[in-house]
Amino acid sequence: MSKSTISTFELFQRFPNQESARLYFEAARWPDGAVCPACGEAKRIGTRKGGFYRCNACLSDFTIRTGTIFERSKVPLHKWIYAMYLLVTSRKGISSLQLHSQIGVTQKTAWFMLQRLREACGNDPTELAGIVEIDEVYIGGKEASKHESKRLGLGRGSVGKTPVIAGRERESGRVKAEVHPTVTGRNAVGFTHRHVQVGSTIHTDESAIYNRVSGLLYKHESINHGAGEFVRGDVTTNGIESVFAVLKRGLHGVYHHASPKHLHRYVGEFAFRLGDGDVSRHTMERLASLFSAAIGKRLTYAELIA
């Protein structure tokens, strides 16, 4: 086994119960002692049994779950850690059906847990830098494979599919991605400004939607796939296309289907696993990154199914 990966057996040894998981999360979130999530008070904190705290400044009661994706969840924290472990170590993802059988919760609960974790995966504000490859991909079934009542009858190609714009930082392999109803020049520019550091070099294909990326803020190089060109010097989009290949294999092979409504969370999961969740990092570092991203995020079931 790789030195960067711990086994399932070792994970269970480290976190055999809820209390061990609670202490781990508290040490990661509050290395100098509990801090009130409501007012930020760190000194006037009263300790109660079972990991409960009382802020004597604002009179709020809280636990390590408060202000995270775990808030109001009845699932024990060591089961959350195992779900996180499966998410960051499974190259193509983990299905709710598989998670429910492995941690002993209902399939509905497992699906909700995974959607919460995916919500956290999109919580990284850092920008891509250096050479950044940007491309788009269309996610969805083929028109010919759909039931006749669901076919749009508008042709083939991208018809009926959901576009995803993504960028990959060549040096680190970190990925940013966004789901859009359509792909336009404005969307491409907006994505670049939100996720790519000014002064970086952008590599794209010959699509006209990327023409507006060129300018004073970025250096833009393109490769002409239509003319059979895939590499010219160091100019290529092969890196981001390999990301799309992993994304499609995961969506088709593990999840089978992701609706446009929830697709952005699945895309965020794959982007996280290729960045902070990369296999070159130790498993515990990947878990720490996912827990850090989980702080300040909240997803209720009502919001999820609305």
CA angle 156, 141, 304 (to 5 degrees): 130
- The whole domain housing 98 covers 8-31+67-123+281-305
Answer whether 0.85 is exceeded by the pTM. yes
Does 85 lie in the same domain as 152? no
Q: Give 65-87 pLDDT, tens digit per residue.
A: 999 999 999 999 999 999 999 99
- Is 196:127 a contact under the CB 8 Å cutoff? yes
Does 247 lie in the same domain as 136? yes
Between CA 284 and CA 229 the distance in angstroms is 41
Does 182 lie in the same domain as 242? yes
Residue 41 lies in a domain: no
Residue 61 lies in a domain: no
- Is 87:94 a contact under the CB 8 Å cutoff? yes
Residue 60 lies in a domain: no
Residue 58 lies in a domain: no
Between CA 19 and CA 21 the distance in angstroms is 5
Instruction: Report the 10 Å Cβ neighbour count for 131.
Output: 19
Does 246 lie in the same domain as 171? yes
Does 295 lie in the same domain as 260? no
Give me the mean pLDDT over the 132-154 stretch: 67
Q: What's the pLDDT score for residue 142?
A: 59
Does 198 lie in the same domain as 230? yes
3-state secondary structure of 98: helix
Structure tokens at 85: 């472990």
Pairing mode, if any, of strands 201-205 and 219-223? Answer: parallel
Q: What's the pLDDT score for residue 256?
A: 86
What is the side-by-side strand order in the sheet with 175-179? 175-179, 162-169, 131-139, 201-205, 219-223
Q: Is residue 188 pLDDT above 60, yes or no?
A: yes
* Number of domains into which the chain is organized: 2
3-state secondary structure of 167: strand
Q: How far is CA 25 from CA 66, 88, 96, 287, 289, in A?
A: 12, 17, 24, 10, 12
Give me the mean pLDDT over the 178-207 stretch: 94
